[in-house]
Amino acid sequence: MSEKRRDRKNRILRTGESQEADGRYKFRYVDANGKRKSVYSWRLVATDPIPSGKRDNPPLREQEKVINRDLDDMIMPDGGGYTVLQLTKKYIAQKTGVKHTTRAGYGTVINLLTKDPFGARRIDKVRLSDAKEWLIRLQQVDGKSYSAIHSIRGVLRPAFQMAVDDDILRKNPFEFMLATVVVNDSVTREAITRKEERAFLDFVKNDKHYSKYYDGMYILFKTGMRISEFVGLTIKDVDLENRTINIDHQLQRTGTLIYIDSTKTYAGRRVIPMQDDVYECFKRILANRKPPKVEPNIDGYSGFLWFDKDGKPMLALHWEKYFQHAVEKYNRIYKTQLPKITPYVCRHTYCSNMAKSGMNPKVLQYLMGHSDISVTLNTYTHLKLDDAREEMENMAKQQAKADEELRQMGKKSDGMRIVKFG
């Protein structure tokens, strides 16, 4: 029987283990790709002292444990050689059929990782704490907003999960709740009050310059349409006879590209009924529509309702500026200031008003084009203390009325005489 190999402390060495002439321990193994590799340490076990002046790293047998576990589970060694940037590119390459806006978002993440040293890190070297520290740095040092970081992580987390599913990594370092790491500094988009809505619309209606945008702004407040859906409307989508608005597409702009896209979600495809006031607005819009000599055609769609000074269909950015400038003018004139109003605020205001009016949540979900009713209930219905107080006062009035009716019925009953026959 051959004698077992031992180290200088007379400890038996396992298969693959050896001790170098300088005292270092070495473990040789064959990885999942059939390549011979070695790892080293000045310590065989954790209790061994580190020689003076030598760099510390995990004890050899702790490294062996990780290596053997990965070999048993057929985990690819060294993270498959991928860097964070390379892994992200591989993930994005498999995302076909995405919207232009999503593709642009992917490009933003790639540009960030190309410039940031984090993108050059090997993926198997990225730990949970590394991922957290990087996102914190993006906010505190690079000044990126919470929403931007949320989008970045929204790409990296599934990219790393792909590596886990492919047996390249054992764990996903981006699998944590973002709000526990990065401060949510995003501003909640609030609905404005009915009083503020009336003040703004009355001002626009009577203003010499902004009155030409009144009908469009009124429609946005009273239908809850997304601005991209609104600017994408064509003559064919507005049915004055049946008083309906057909929404099955949106007009978008990404960079310099202007194009027709499908609705944000499948639930976004809907037909909205017109109230009388909205009907009158669309009637005036169609009557006053002044198209250029050649109708613009975008991806097969023509007959748009609004045009800019160059004869091109108006985009979301146009209306955002009209709202911004109208509010600024109002606030220069009047002492009582209006808050920021955008097409998005119009949508939130509509949803909140309908919720306060007691509209069935499922009906409101349909009108808003939400695929998930939790979005309707939790994100867009900004009910506050005043709303709760008003609701409780209404309930108190109804209860008082019911009590009074019961008292009146009781008085009538007491005044009735019982007549007996016989």
For the segment 127-180, what is each residue's pLDDT rounded down to a tens digit?
999 999 999 999 999 999 998 999 999 999 999 999 999 888 889 999 999 989
Q: Which DSSP letter does residue 219 get?
A: H
The encoded tokens of residue 307 equal 């045009």
Which SS3 state, helix, strand or coil, does residue 238 take? strand
Say if residue 419's pLDDT is above 60: no
Residue at 160: amino acid letter: F
Which SS3 state, helix, strand or coil, does residue 112 take? helix
Percentage of the chain beyond pLDDT 90 is 64
Say if residue 26's pLDDT is above 70: yes
Cα 49 from Cα 220, distance rounded (Å) = 73
The pLDDT tens digits of the residues spanning 311-343 come to: 999 999 999 999 999 999 999 999 999 999 999
Angle at 378 between CA 375 and CA 382, to 5 degrees: 120
Q: What is the H or E stretch that residue 246 is in?
A: strand 244-247
Question: Which whole number is the average pLDDT over 281-302?
Answer: 94
Cα 348 from Cα 292, distance rounded (Å) = 33
Give the contacts of 111 (CB within 8 A, at least 6 positions apart): none
Give the model's pLDDT for residue 380. 44
- Other beta carbons within 10 angstroms of residue 1's beta carbon come to 3
The pLDDT tens digits of the residues spanning 246-260 come to: 999 999 998 888 999
Say if residue 28's pLDDT is above 70: yes
The pLDDT tens digits of the residues spanning 85-119 come to: 999 999 999 998 888 888 889 999 999 999 999 99
Give the model's pLDDT for residue 189. 61
Give the model's pLDDT for residue 186. 67
Give the model's pLDDT for residue 397. 77
- Helix extents (H) in 144-213: 146-165, 194-206
Half-sphere exposure of 221 (CA within 13 A, CB side): 23
Q: Which DSSP letter does residue 144 get?
A: -
Half-sphere exposure of 418 (CA within 13 A, CB side): 3
Phi, psi of 73 (to 5 degrees): -90, 5
Cα 290 from Cα 311, distance rounded (Å) = 9
Q: What is the H or E stretch that residue 331 is in?
A: helix 316-333
Q: Which DSSP letter does residue 379 get?
A: I
Residue at 114: amino acid letter: T
C-alpha radius of gyration, the chain, whole number: 34
Query: Please, is 10 exposed, middle or buried when counting C-beta atoms within 10 Å of its C-beta (0-12, 13-18, 19+)?
Result: exposed
The encoded tokens of residue 215 equal 């009908």
Which SS3 state, helix, strand or coil, does residue 167 take? coil
Give the model's pLDDT for residue 381. 47
Q: Calculate the CA 323 to chain-centre distance.
A: 24
CB 235 within 8 A of CB 303: yes
The pLDDT tens digits of the residues spanning 352-407 come to: 888 888 888 899 999 999 888 877 776 444 555 565 566 667 677 778 888 777 77
- Other beta carbons within 10 angstroms of residue 115's beta carbon come to 10
CB 206 within 8 A of CB 252: no
Mean pLDDT of all residues belonging to the chain: 88
Cα 45 from Cα 69, distance rounded (Å) = 18
Which SS3 state, helix, strand or coil, does residue 121 take? coil
Say if residue 47's pLDDT is above 50: yes
- Between residues 410 and 335, the one the model is more confident about: 335
The pLDDT tens digits of the residues spanning 59-88 come to: 999 988 888 887 776 667 778 889 999 999
Strands (E), 16-91: 17-19, 25-30, 36-41
- Helix extents (H) in 166-303: 194-206, 214-223, 227-231, 276-288
Least confident interval from 15-19, 181-185, 267-271, 361-365: 181-185
Say if residue 220's pLDDT is above 50: yes
